[in-house]
């Protein structure tokens, strides 16, 4: 094609040129600003997400506080039970067993006596002494009966000579 075949472009006057120079930057600016307002829904989403995360953290904190309160109550109950046990031990008239298997009153302690000490009791032989040792611990001397190790008659024969701490 030759230049004569190109369509002619009208020449712009200075007024038209100024008009174009003003309109195009204005349109470009509005387009950019329009793109900025598209971020507002993103900001609103961020705000909603932050509010939801805060609510979740608030609920988690409440649950943690409830769990902590429950753990503290359990610990307090355990300490109270231990203190009651100490008080009961202090008030108890039962003395602890000595290392020789006898109580301070000279009785045989069923929880710490040796095989020979148990076998020396009336009606208790070696296998029965082994059974008494295997059945430890005993909360009371009659524990050997309640655990089925001795009959009531067998226990009656040794009762004056035995104790438990």
- 42 belongs to a structural domain: no
Domain assignment present for residue 158? The answer is yes
CATH code of the domain containing 149: 1.10.150.320
pLDDT at 2: 55
| pLDDT for 152 | 93
Residue 131 is predicted with a pLDDT of 94
The H or E element containing residue 108 is strand 108-109
The three-class DSSP label of residue 157 is helix
Does residue 26 belong to any structural domain of this protein? Answer: no
3-class secondary structure, 73: helix
Task: Identify the burial level of 108 via C-beta atoms within 10 angstroms of its C-beta, where 0-12 means exposed, 13-18 middle and 19 or more buried.
Answer: buried
47-93, pLDDT tens digit by residue?
888 888 788 877 878 887 888 888 878 888 787 777 766 766 665 54
Expressed as residue numbers, the domain containing 71 is 59-92
CA distances from 163 to 74, 87, 160 (A): 35, 21, 8
| Model confidence band, residue 18 (pLDDT cutoffs 50, 70, 90) | low
Provide the whole-model pTM. 0.40
Q: What is the pLDDT of residues 103-138, one digit of tens each?
A: 667 788 898 899 999 999 999 999 999 999 999 998
Co-location of 114 and 143 in the same domain: yes
- Asked if 73 and 120 sit in the same domain, the reply is no
Pair 83, 116 in one domain: no
Helix H segments across 3-151? 14-37, 40-91, 115-119, 126-134, 143-146
């Amino acid at each position: 094609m030759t230049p004569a075949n190109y369509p002619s472009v009208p020449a712009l006057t200075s007024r038209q040129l100024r008009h174009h120079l003003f309109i195009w930057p204005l349109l470009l600016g509005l387009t950019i600003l329009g793109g900025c307002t598209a971020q507002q829904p993103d900001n609103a989403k961020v705000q909603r997400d932050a509010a939801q995360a805060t609510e979740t953290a608030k609920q988690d904190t409440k649950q943690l506080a409830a769990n902590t309160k429950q753990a503290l109550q359990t610990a307090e109950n355990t300490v109270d039970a231990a203190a009651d046990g100490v008080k009961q031990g202090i008030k108890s008239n039962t003395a602890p067993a000595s290392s020789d298997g006898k109580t301070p009153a000279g009785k045989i302690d069923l929880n710490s006596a040796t095989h020979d000490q148990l076998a020396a009791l009336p009606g208790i032989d070696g296998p029965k002494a082994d059974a008494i040792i295997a059945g430890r611990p005993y909360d009371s001397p009659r524990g050997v009966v309640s655990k089925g190790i001795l009959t009531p008659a067998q226990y009656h024969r040794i009762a004056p000579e035995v104790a438990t701490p």
